[in-house]
Structure 1
Amino acid sequence: MKPERRNPNAAARSKKEPKLSRTHAPADLSPVEWQRSLRRQFGREQAFGLENLGSEPFFSEFRVSNPASKSSYRVAIRGLGPGGNFCSCPDYSTSELGTCKHLEFTLARLQKRRGAKTAFARGYQPAFSELYLRSDGKRSVHFRAGTDCPPSVRKAAAGLFDADRDGMLPDGRLDELEPFMATVSKSGHELRAYDDALDFVAGRRDADRRAAKLTQLFPRGAAAPKLRALLKVPLYAYQAEGALFAVRAGRALIGDDMGLGKTIQAIAAMEILARHFGVSKVLVICPTSLKYQWQSEIARFTGRKGKNAARVIGGGRAQRQKDYALDDFCKITNYEKLQPDFDLIAAWAPELVIVDEAQRVKNWNTIAARALKRIDSTHAIVLTGTPLENKLEELISIVQFVDQHRLGPTWKLLHEHQVKDEAGRVTGYTGLEKIGQTLAPVMIRRRKSEVLRQLPSRTDQNLLVPMTEMQTTYHRENADEVAKIVRRWRRSGFLSDTDQRRLMIALQNMRMSCNSTYLLDQETDHGVKADELAALFDELFVDPEAKAVVFSQWTRTHDIVIRRLEARGLGYVSFHGGVPSEKRPALVERFRDDPNCRVFLSTDAGSTGLNLQHASTLVNMDLPWNPAVLEQRIARIHRLGQVRPVLVVNFVAKGTIEEGMLSVLAFKRSLSAGILDGGSSEISLGGSRLNRFMKEVENVTGNMGEGEAVTPAEEVANIAVATESVHAGSVDAGGGAGEIAVARMGAGVPPHGVGPDPWQALVQIGAQFITAMAAAGDPHAPAHPWVERDSATGMPSLKMPLPTGETARQLADALSTIADGLRSRTA
């Protein structure tokens, strides 16, 4: 019988070390050895390219290239053990292991060469001396004397570096390094000081100098009058403190609660750096929906004017390339443009990077997040109200952009703070207070309760948001219709009833398109406001007691908001004119008493008579023309009994009729006594009243500003979570205008507020009639579009809009049915 032939390859495989798991540490290895072994295992499996950049075969500098990612790193080999070698990759810099896959790959290749065993046994013995950075355990500067190092240099090194710790430079003696290097230079001896070591020392020294200069500039700290008056708007003490903290740290995370003014703190820090530390190029990175908001806030707070003060980066690649070539103080871009524009950003070389809403990039392994971390700047300010939402890894990744070494390596942090079950699944975290202490030098976080006495009783914020391409199309179509009618009026000074009706509908459609295309076609939901609201809720409801009131003129806006609420499991109530009066108190009670009911959705049917002061945040998805209606909304929560500061957020679509309303009217007066709030199908306008109305229409539509449509990719990126179902449109029956069931100007325009169901329309008209009667009976009540008062006598008269065509016939049939029923009962 022939002996069985053994496969030599199989035998070789059997001698190999067992493959290590990347998720479960072996019982016989410490966490450090496990992580080093993983890198050794992974590095030796790679097919990297290796190029020797020096003249020595082993102890030299090499270029390791990855053909898959088309990246390359510089590797320096000084020995076999961890700590003395170097790699320019991020893992080596942050892992505190003294090795990485690139180093392990290089060592494996070198050890296969002839003479490797002898060379490594002899050790690294260069003639020159070295100043280098070690990253095994913590970052520290070390000195290694060369074979030609003269006695004078050795003596100076012995007095400065700790020989018992491999020539480490003590932390408190960084200032003595420069005189030592001067001594070496005078001796004529070659000293190689590597960039990472010099950058480390320079960073420490810059921080010391920055702190000293801030003390000189603002000796009273946050209480310094010059600091409090830095911007056009006075800073509160805690805001001044936050701005000083960010400048002193150089790279900082401001994690204050929502509503405490993180933006103004970042802008104040920006101004300090610009005026006193030479910063002349600032890059703001934020969600697409907030770009114009940042531009507006910088202009308002700093007084810097013109596009070159704060330029929004948008348009195609060619336009963005031109924008980055311009000499601007500040450029504002969005996350989605970081990767495609990285070369442009790098060439512009910002000195300060401000990152807003950092929690929006929850997965920091995305293309945008990786591009963000590659941006090189001396200073950075990261803003987020929720630095830790779900997983510890999210916080780690955000902090890595601020200071990649602050929390230490991820593997070490997770090992110390994660709690796992027997299967290795993460069940919780422990020792988080230690993380807070570690972050203290770079993160400042204040709760509302901590600064309650400093806060104003009410803060109003206009949040400019962009439109999507489909929204812009709807808005433009209706704006063109308005322009045609205005031109006819300018020619003749007269408008027919038909033109007046078409004008009202077009203006209303323009406003509705600002919320979402769903309000017009009930089939699509293209819009930014609802997703911005959802993002606001994500931050607000970190506080388990927080509640919010959301107003919109249209219940279809409720529909798109409800989809976001249900996707997040947030409880809500919806209050509108169609809710029977006997059921309304229960909705208010549930919102007040149920801790799971976080949002009160309301049309202007709820703008009077409701006490909702258990909420302290009010959001206007759309603004009424009549300032009295706006104040009535706000008075629901900003009233006697409110014990917390009130935040009012007004969503305003950039470059639209809403911005025109904001800039021209400034909410100091109503437009034709609030005509567009409740009577947009009013037929009869004449004389001076028509002239005043048309002039206001011209002003508003002529001052809409410039907007930038969100691209489809950016629209998807801005969506937090949305369900796929599309709810049927509903019609609000009280307190304000109902919805116009019209997508585009053209054939088949139904009357304002009248749906396809005549009974529903009848209920709506009845409710509006009752509201009008109440307004007519109270001379102090807000203006109602159906009610006019004689200028001489003050007597009210009622002008009620009537539907036309098929809807009018259906309504007549419905009324006839009711009349027949009444006659039969009395017969």
Structure 2
Amino acid sequence: MIQGQKTRSRPKRRGQPKIPHTHKPADLTPVDWQRALRRQFGREQAFRWENIGDEAIFSDFHVTNPETRSRYRVTVRGLQPGDNHCSCPDFATNELGTCKHIEFVVGKLLKKRGAKAAFARGYQPAFSELVLHNDGHRFVRFRPGTACPAPLARASAGLFEQPGGDLRPDRSGDLESFISAAAKAGHELRVQDEVLDFVAGLRDAAYRARTLDRLFPRGAADWGRARLTKLALYPYQVEGALFAVRAGRALIGDEMGLGKTAQAIAAAEILARHFGVSRVLVICPTSLKYQWQGELLRFAGRKARVIAGGRALRQKDYAQDDFCKITNYEKLDPDLDLITGWAPELVIVDEAQRIKNWNTIAARALKRIDSPYAVVLTGTPLENKLEELISIVQYVDQHRLGPTWRLLHEHQVRDEAGRVIGYAGLDTIGKTLAPIMIRRRKAEVLRQLPGRTDSTILVPMTEAQMRYHEDNADIVARIVQRWRKTRFLSDTDQRRLTCALQNMRMACNSTYLLDHESDHGVKADEVAALVDDLAAQDAKAVIFSQWTRSHDIVIRRLEARGLGYVSFHGGVPSEKRPALVQRFAEDADCRVFLSTDAGSTGLNLQHATTLINMDLPWNPAILEQRIARIHRMGQKRPVRIVNLVAKGTIEEGMLGVLAFKRSLSAGILDGGAGEVSLGGSRLNRFMKDVENVTGRMGEAAEVAPAEERVLEVAAPVADAKSRRAGIAGDARPSSAKPDKGDARPSPVATPAPNDPWAALAGLGRQLLGAFAAAHDDDVAHPWVERDAASGRSSLKIPLPPAETARELATALARLADMLQGRERL
């Protein structure tokens, strides 16, 4: 180039516009959109790849993700969807005929010299292939090679729809002889592992069906003759067990209390006696491990090994030759190698709502446990959104619902901005699941089950409770107002919001839940009155609260009355939990079973006839889990459910805000409405819930379910002296331990008698807490007042009782004397 000569710059080539991940472009079909997304993502990756075959283009490749260290095998045969194959999970289920790994390899190959010409000519190998296709349904396809012998080609015509076509549905049993014929002819026939697994599954299903028809020609009516369990089962339970065995991998989604554990054990016995199963792995919450051990012995007479202790002990346990091992979700990931080495043939997954989110460590580990049979148990297969059901079903049968992208496209309702606002066509999902999911409701199968009476008792709030509640309600109101203006909340705001909402709910039970010292509240007294009535009737009660401090204030009242109780919560070691349940069942003096939601699943507490909810959970499914502890199979007496709701508070608003979650579950599982509406994104829906809850405080009579009775309790009349010394129980017991994370400032507490130093220390702690709260606008404290105009904070300290004031003065005088003495020294 001549110096000084100007050159004309080439215009920059514009790249292809990005395909959006959140919404489908108008000019693309859903299938084309999903394929384009995988092509776009695959071509952008920095995967490592290696040709492990003999050819440059049409070959086999290893593709490795350096970040996750996952490696998959990619087979390239052409450029059209379905030509190629990948061993990754997405390719197995997306029904697109491609994936990001295939697109990555094809993109790299297209940059090679002569690659486009090779793809244009097409792949024409001498060998033949059997491949598995998944295009809405799975089928085996025969690809004849150029050297395919004429006799083999003629034999394929009887098995496949056409040369190079799909295997006829009724001829899968003849595929093995076809493979043998190719070997005898000396012709190379390559068969994918997926083909062999698929055909083996078809043969096994046919064999199970024939065997069950022979053993149980009349279904449940033949169960007694089979004598497979020590205890008798209800006919519907036998039907559930037979259904699970026939399906091979099944979801039993019966309503809570119908005996899903017994059905799973019965299914395991059928598989053991008639289908050669000898290794069963039970996965359940920690609290239920020993209960499963007992139920296996009681129903089937089989001993089971509970996996517990350190890694060395667990390794030793997995090396033992047991019929059944029982582990918990938290041990799946660290013990995955031990479980894989033991190779269970049947996996029973209890309380499977624990795997509703595949992003959790336990859920991902469970997906990697390979077993020919699986029985998944949950009374709430769907709690909040459709994706939860998809996650559970994918473990049972990853192909049943089809690809997630298609399912959501067909059933999600979106607004103009692409946000999900509801679901439609939910009834069709239930029909799709029918071959692998069985679900019965109590009304359908247990008409002899005693009646259930629900009542909501509205209890008043004390002034101290209301101060906490209103202060936190102000925080919620400010954050909601900020949300309305900006439609955005920072992480800090979201944390403050959830903290304030929880504080409002805790205040409804007692101030003790917030300050750990005082005990202003009516609920515990109402509980005590209910228990008194039950004790007079020689009856027992289960009391649920989300917080163990609620147990503390109830226990004070029970001990004052000399009533026996047990307290069940997450801090109780799993090996000690069965003893608590046993004591409640067998000890006539043990009247009350206090439980957090750690005991809301799996426990059998039908010795009680009354269940008292001191506080309501956000999720109605959890409420039903609580109730199912006593209203379940085997209960021979009427059951009473009592919900204590603080009047004029957030609890009243909660009574009517979760109808969407109930209708979503009913639409799919129970044949309810096919369409459900919700609002926008997850945060948007949550904020609408918050607005509804806080906006409906004081409307319990309007939103309570029709079958419930709403009662009101009059506010107690008590002067200050009786409130301090009597039933309110202001003094905190020495055995009470504060839960982690609850460091709230406290109002002036009544100290222990004759302990001036305790009074002084208590006042000091409260003053420090008040000073800290005064400098944080989002922390409420009953002593702190803020000027709305200037924003300045001031302390308004309530005067303690006269006796406490005298004790404080005495303590201060002694402290002054001590300080003066030190100065003189």
User: Into which bin does the TM-score normalised by the smaller protein fall?
Assistant: 0.5 to 0.7
For residues 428 and 319 of structure 2, what CA distance do their matches in structure 1 show?
Answer: 45
Map 1:322-341 → 2, pairs under 5 A: 322-341=316-335
Q: Deviations over 1:394-425 (max 9, x none)?
A: 11111110000000001111111100000100
For residues 99 and 105 of structure 1, what CA distance do their matches in structure 2 show?
Answer: 10
Query: What's the counterpart of residue 584 of structure 1?
Result: none
Counterparts in 2 of 1:111 and 1:265: CA distance versus 1, 3 Å: same
Partner secondary structure for residue 202 of structure 1:
helix
Structure 1 residue 261 displacement after superposition: 1.3
1:742 aligns with 2:735: yes
Query: What's the counterpart of residue 586 of structure 2?
Result: 667
Map 1:799-810 → 2, pairs under 5 A: none
Partner secondary structure for residue 93 of structure 1:
helix
Preserved contact between residue 54 and residue 60 of structure 1 (Cα < 8 Å): yes
Counterparts in 2 of 1:440 and 1:315: CA distance versus 1, 3 Å: same
Partner secondary structure for residue 339 of structure 1:
coil
Query: What's the counterpart of residue 425 of structure 2?
Result: 431
Query: What's the counterpart of residue 78 of structure 2?
Result: 79
Query: What's the counterpart of residue 786 of structure 2?
Result: none
Map 1:390-405 → 2, pairs under 5 A: 390-405=384-399
Preserved contact between residue 355 and residue 392 of structure 2 (Cα < 8 Å): no
1:441 aligns with 2:432: no
Partner secondary structure for residue 290 of structure 2:
helix
For residues 241 and 571 of structure 1, what CA distance do their matches in structure 2 show?
Answer: 44
Structure 1 residue 89 displacement after superposition: 0.1
Structure 1 residue 109 displacement after superposition: 1.1
Matched residue type, 1:99: T
Structure 1 residue 3 displacement after superposition: 5.4
For residues 300 and 732 of structure 1, what CA distance do their matches in structure 2 show?
Answer: 50
For residues 236 and 385 of structure 1, what CA distance do their matches in structure 2 show?
Answer: 18
Counterparts in 2 of 1:122 and 1:148: CA distance versus 1, 3 Å: same
Matched residue type, 1:29: L
Preserved contact between residue 130 and residue 144 of structure 1 (Cα < 8 Å): yes
Preserved contact between residue 249 and residue 375 of structure 2 (Cα < 8 Å): yes
For residues 267 and 649 of structure 1, what CA distance do their matches in structure 2 show?
Answer: 29
For residues 503 and 217 of structure 2, what CA distance do their matches in structure 1 show?
Answer: 47
Structure 1 residue 348 displacement after superposition: 1.2
Preserved contact between residue 568 and residue 577 of structure 2 (Cα < 8 Å): no
Map 1:136-535 → 2, pairs under 5 A: 136-163=135-162, 166-226=164-224, 229-305=227-303, 309-311=304-306, 313-453=307-447, 455=449
Partner secondary structure for residue 163 of structure 1:
coil
Preserved contact between residue 287 and residue 574 of structure 2 (Cα < 8 Å): no
For residues 111 and 389 of structure 2, what CA distance do their matches in structure 1 show?
Answer: 42
Counterparts in 2 of 1:455 and 1:247: CA distance versus 1, 3 Å: farther
For residues 349 and 499 of structure 2, what CA distance do their matches in structure 1 show?
Answer: 25
Partner secondary structure for residue 190 of structure 2:
strand
Map 1:66-145 → 2, pairs under 5 A: 66-145=65-144
Calculate the aligned-residue CA RMSD, in Å: 4.5
Partner secondary structure for residue 230 of structure 2:
coil
Map 1:634-713 → 2, pairs under 5 A: 653=572, 667=586, 670=589
Counterparts in 2 of 1:73 and 1:731: CA distance versus 1, 3 Å: farther
Counterparts in 2 of 1:743 and 1:423: CA distance versus 1, 3 Å: closer
Structure 1 residue 433 displacement after superposition: 0.9
Q: Deviations over 1:674-702 (max 9, x none)?
A: 9x99xxxxxxxxxxxxxxxxxxxxxxxxx
Matched residue type, 2:34: Q
1:6 aligns with 2:9: yes
Percent identity at matched positions?
60
Preserved contact between residue 253 and residue 380 of structure 2 (Cα < 8 Å): yes
Q: Deviations over 1:494-541 (max 9, x none)?
A: xxxxxxxxxxxxxxxxxxxxxxxxxxxxxxxxxxxxxxxxxxxxxxxx
Matched residue type, 1:200: F
Q: Deviations over 1:439-466 (max 9, x none)?
A: 00001111111113254779xxxxxxxx
Structure 1 residue 188 displacement after superposition: 2.6
Matched residue type, 1:113: K
Preserved contact between residue 82 and residue 136 of structure 1 (Cα < 8 Å): no
Structure 1 residue 573 displacement after superposition: 8.7
For residues 289 and 403 of structure 2, what CA distance do their matches in structure 1 show?
Answer: 33
For residues 312 and 439 of structure 2, what CA distance do their matches in structure 1 show?
Answer: 40
1:57 aligns with 2:56: yes
Partner secondary structure for residue 36 of structure 2:
helix
For residues 40 and 217 of structure 2, what CA distance do their matches in structure 1 show?
Answer: 55
So what's the TM-score if we normalise by structure 1?
0.60
Uncovered stretches (5+) of structure 1, i.e. residues with no partner: 459-562, 576-586, 588-598, 635-647, 678-717, 724-729, 745-753, 760-809, 814-827
Q: Deviations over 1:635-677 (max 9, x none)?
A: xxxxxxxxxxxxx998895578875576689625559xx9x99
For residues 41 and 93 of structure 1, what CA distance do their matches in structure 2 show?
Answer: 19
Q: Deviations over 1:372-391 (max 9, x none)?
A: 11111111111111111222
For residues 318 and 82 of structure 2, what CA distance do their matches in structure 1 show?
Answer: 41
Counterparts in 2 of 1:334 and 1:451: CA distance versus 1, 3 Å: same
Partner secondary structure for residue 74 of structure 1:
strand
Query: What's the counterpart of residue 482 of structure 1?
Result: none
Q: Deviations over 1:122-166 (max 9, x none)?
A: 2111111111101233321000111111111111111221127x4
Counterparts in 2 of 1:260 and 1:662: CA distance versus 1, 3 Å: closer
Query: What's the counterpart of residue 646 of structure 2?
Result: none
Counterparts in 2 of 1:284 and 1:649: CA distance versus 1, 3 Å: farther
Counterparts in 2 of 1:65 and 1:392: CA distance versus 1, 3 Å: same
For residues 358 and 352 of structure 1, what CA distance do their matches in structure 2 show?
Answer: 15
Counterparts in 2 of 1:731 and 1:58: CA distance versus 1, 3 Å: farther
Preserved contact between residue 568 and residue 580 of structure 2 (Cα < 8 Å): no
For residues 395 and 100 of structure 1, what CA distance do their matches in structure 2 show?
Answer: 24
For residues 400 and 665 of structure 1, what CA distance do their matches in structure 2 show?
Answer: 39
Matched residue type, 2:206: D
Preserved contact between residue 284 and residue 327 of structure 2 (Cα < 8 Å): yes
Partner secondary structure for residue 607 of structure 1:
helix
For residues 206 and 44 of structure 1, what CA distance do their matches in structure 2 show?
Answer: 41
For residues 104 and 257 of structure 1, what CA distance do their matches in structure 2 show?
Answer: 45
Preserved contact between residue 281 and residue 346 of structure 2 (Cα < 8 Å): yes
Preserved contact between residue 291 and residue 578 of structure 2 (Cα < 8 Å): no
Counterparts in 2 of 1:758 and 1:606: CA distance versus 1, 3 Å: farther
Structure 1 residue 260 displacement after superposition: 1.1
For residues 543 and 415 of structure 2, what CA distance do their matches in structure 1 show?
Answer: 43
1:609 aligns with 2:522: no
Counterparts in 2 of 1:176 and 1:605: CA distance versus 1, 3 Å: same
For residues 500 and 288 of structure 2, what CA distance do their matches in structure 1 show?
Answer: 21
Counterparts in 2 of 1:601 and 1:429: CA distance versus 1, 3 Å: farther
Matched residue type, 1:186: K
Structure 1 residue 317 displacement after superposition: 2.2
For residues 17 and 406 of structure 2, what CA distance do their matches in structure 1 show?
Answer: 23
Q: Deviations over 1:96-123 (max 9, x none)?
A: 0000010011111111112212321221
Which range moved further: 82-91 or 356-365? 356-365
Structure 1 residue 357 displacement after superposition: 1.3
For residues 19 and 287 of structure 1, what CA distance do their matches in structure 2 show?
Answer: 44
Preserved contact between residue 48 and residue 66 of structure 1 (Cα < 8 Å): yes
Counterparts in 2 of 1:337 and 1:83: CA distance versus 1, 3 Å: same
Structure 1 residue 195 displacement after superposition: 0.7
For residues 451 and 228 of structure 2, what CA distance do their matches in structure 1 show?
Answer: 23
For residues 633 and 450 of structure 1, what CA distance do their matches in structure 2 show?
Answer: 37
Matched residue type, 2:444: E
Query: What's the counterpart of residue 697 of structure 1?
Result: none
